[in-house]
Amino acid sequence: MFSFHVSIIPEQKKVYRKEALIFIKVDNFSNFGYTPSIMTMVRRRVILLTFVVAYCIIAPLLIFYAIGWRYNFHNNHIEHVGAILIETNPRGATVYLNGQQRAAQTPATIKNLLSDKYSVKLSKQGYYSWMTTISVTSSETSRITNVSLLPEPHTDQAIAAPAGINPFMISPDMSMFALMVDNSIEIFSTNVMQRVSHNQTQSKIRSISWSRNSASILAELESGIFIVIDANTGLITSQLELPANEPVKHAEWSNSENEIIFASSETATYRINLFQKTTTKRFDADQIIYATDLYAFQQSDNRINILNSTGLLATNTSFPFCTDLQVIDYSSTVSLIFCPSNSKLYIFNSAEKTLEQFETEVRGIDIQAGEDDAIYFNKHEIFKWNIQTNKKELLLRTSYEITSANSFLDKKYVLFVQNGIIRAIQAEGPERNSYDLPYSNTLQVFANSSASNVLVREAEQIYTLQF
């Protein structure tokens, strides 16, 4: 039982509402199932102390977490996080880190990464995916920069390859190419893949070469006659003739001037100016296989002499007989002497009067006059070579035979052919990504280091790839 004592106390003070205060006194709380505890204050203090301790522990942890400290379960220690900075050309590539897509697109900085190795994949529509593995170090930002994504090419216009075609020759500016078919020359535009001109010669064509301004073609016929053909009209503009009706044994375009040809007979070499229609004796020597404004290359058996107007400059007694000598002027004193038929490359230094072999085997070299970097290849390797510093960098080593290699897309990539398949490898940047292009049965590929189109010859057609 319990009882209530009710007292009604009238309000003594003046208030806005008049009311009575009622006090209820409960004599026995136990009948309600509740007993007041004397530990209520202690319990409150324990709870308060718990919250204080928890705050003192959690708050610093949150602060340390916010400023980048983490526990690395892989290395079992606490460390400060790192990051990866990624930049691509073009921008807007999607970033995948360890196979997981990130929200950011390049340029992007992926933050809060523990020290470890990460696989990175960059993807953009219309381009080949680029991949690498990068290590992240505590408190540091690893960088993936200078990444040039390779565009996916598409086949442009094509023409049927005539039967009996010989290897075709592309002009230095890659605007035209010439096909040799028996005793005719077909000249096509690479932009629209249409025939520009045609010339029917009197006898079968032995070889052709383009002038440095891509305006004319020098053709050697099997009859021994050398003719000059206008590339735009197909008309013969000149037939090379030497004084005293000496037969022309060898002729080459000047590698420094337009409208200039060096023609050699059995006893001398002449400088022919097609524009002024003049012929001047330049070197009084026999067995000249190549000549420039400054030098003549004289060969007999395995010996080659380099001459100037005053006499002998340099000699090499282990130079194999060469019928397709190419001279590339690197500087005023250094020239590269390349013989494709023998896969030999030599360096001629006129100041030091030396002619030294560069590599035991060089199947092809891609360099423009005056440039420091060259791409060369042998049967199984592709190298990037800085001529000024003589530093060589291996780009590719493979068990399959390489038949051609050219730099393209502003030298960011190298296009090469293996077993008839066109492949590309990155020549710049932190990673050597390589790609198989979906084209096979390839016989020849011509690429220009600054152009975005590539000329491809297959057995039955010739076409351009537009990147």
Q: Do 137 and 37 share a domain, yes or no?
A: no
Q: Has residue 373 been placed in a domain? A: yes
Q: Which stretch of 68-82, 236-250, 361-375 has the lowest confidence by average pLDDT? A: 68-82
Q: Do 26 and 77 share a domain, yes or no?
A: no
CATH number of the domain that 104 lies in?
2.60.40
CA distance 17 to 291: 123
- Considering 63, 87, 108, which residue would you say is the last residue of a domain? 63
CA distance 217 to 199: 11
Q: Do 410 and 457 share a domain, yes or no?
A: yes
Say yes or no to pLDDT of 343 above 60.
Answer: yes
Q: Has residue 87 been placed in a domain? A: yes
Say yes or no to pLDDT of 376 above 60.
Answer: yes
Q: Do 374 and 452 share a domain, yes or no?
A: yes
Percent of the chain with pLDDT over 90: 24
Model pLDDT for residues 273-305, shown as the tens digit of each residue? 999 999 998 888 888 888 887 888 888 777 888
Q: Do 31 and 114 share a domain, yes or no?
A: no
Choose the most confident range, by mean pLDDT, from 120-124, 244-248, 366-370. 120-124
Residue 42 phi, psi (nearest 5)? -65, -45
- Considering 16, 46, 63, which residue would you say is the last residue of a domain? 63
Q: Do 450 and 381 share a domain, yes or no?
A: yes
**To 5 degrees, how large is the angle CA 289–CA 295–CA 297?**
25
Q: Do 73 and 56 share a domain, yes or no?
A: no
Q: Do 48 and 78 share a domain, yes or no?
A: no
Q: Has residue 188 been placed in a domain? A: no
Q: What is the DSSP string of 380-439?
A: SEEEEEETTTTEEEEEEE-SSPEEEEEEETTTTEEEEEETTEEEEEE-SSS---EEE-S-
Say yes or no to pLDDT of 167 above 60.
Answer: yes
Q: Do 76 and 9 share a domain, yes or no?
A: no
Q: Has residue 221 been placed in a domain? A: no
Q: Do 21 and 81 share a domain, yes or no?
A: no
Residue 146 phi, psi (nearest 5)? 60, 35
- The arithmetic mean of pLDDT across residues 18-24, rounded, is 45
CA dist 315 → 15, 293, 302, 350, 399 (Å): 126, 19, 11, 11, 36
Q: Has residue 335 been placed in a domain? A: no
CA distance 214 to 208: 13
Say yes or no to pLDDT of 129 above 90.
Answer: yes
Q: Has residue 271 been placed in a domain? A: no
Q: Do 139 and 108 share a domain, yes or no?
A: yes
Sequence letter at residue 399: S
Predicted local distance difference test score (pLDDT) of residue 430: 64
How many distinct structural domains can be found in the chain? 3
- Considering 105, 133, 148, which residue would you say is the last residue of a domain? 148
Q: Has residue 238 been placed in a domain? A: no
**What range does the domain containing 122 cover?**
69-148
Say yes or no to pLDDT of 467 above 80.
Answer: yes
Residue 64 phi, psi (nearest 5)? -60, -40
The helix (run of H) or strand (run of E) holding residue 62 is: helix 40-66
Q: Has residue 100 been placed in a domain? A: yes
Q: Do 74 and 131 share a domain, yes or no?
A: yes
Q: Give the N- to C-terminal CA distance of the chain in Å, as an integer.
A: 99
Q: Which of these, 390, 344, 348, 349, lies nearest to 365 by C-alpha position?
A: 344
Kindly provide the b/e burial profile for residues 3-27, where b requires at least 16 CB atoms within 10 angstroms of the residue's own CB: eeeeeeeeeeeeeeeeeeeeeeeee
More confident residue, 465 or 216: 216
CATH number of the domain that 434 lies in?
2.120.10.30
Model pLDDT for residues 170-211, shown as the tens digit of each residue? 888 888 889 887 788 889 888 778 889 988 888 888 889 999
